[in-house]
Amino acid sequence: MTTFTKTFTVTDETGAVKTFTHTYRKMDEKTFKHYSQNPLGMDAVVRKEMGIPDNRYYSVQMWSEDECLGVVSVTPNMTRTTNTPKISKSDQPKTE
């Protein structure tokens, strides 16, 4: 995994110029090659290597710009359920 930082400049509706930076995490070439061949099979490896918790969604950029291939982004403000108990009909109380 490598990290890099990009600086962005944005002009808002009032004409004010704002600058911000964002740090990105990027897969190494070997991991990205395996990921592109089998994304679902590499989920556990990507989560471990990138430090992504099990309850978070993430995306991997796949477009052709060399700088962006394999960049991993964790989706903010979205979580997923990982450990919910299964409920089956046999677990329900019987009613007569």
pLDDT of residue 83: 67
Q: How far is Cα 27 from Cα 2, in angstroms, rounded to an integer? A: 7
Q: Which two tokens stand for residue 90?
A: 């046999």
Phi, psi of 11 (to 5 degrees): -105, 120
pLDDT at 87: 72
Q: How many helices (H) and strands (E) does the chain have?
A: 2, 4
Q: Rounded to an integer, what distance in angstroms lies between the CA atom of residue 27 and that of residue 62?
A: 11
- pTM of the model as a whole: 0.60
Residues 37-92 have pLDDT tens digits of: 999 999 999 999 888 888 888 888 887 666 677 888 777 777 777 666 677 767 66
CA separation for the pair 44, 84 (Å, rounded): 19
Q: List, for residues 1-15, the tens digit of each pLDDT value.
A: 777 788 889 898 888
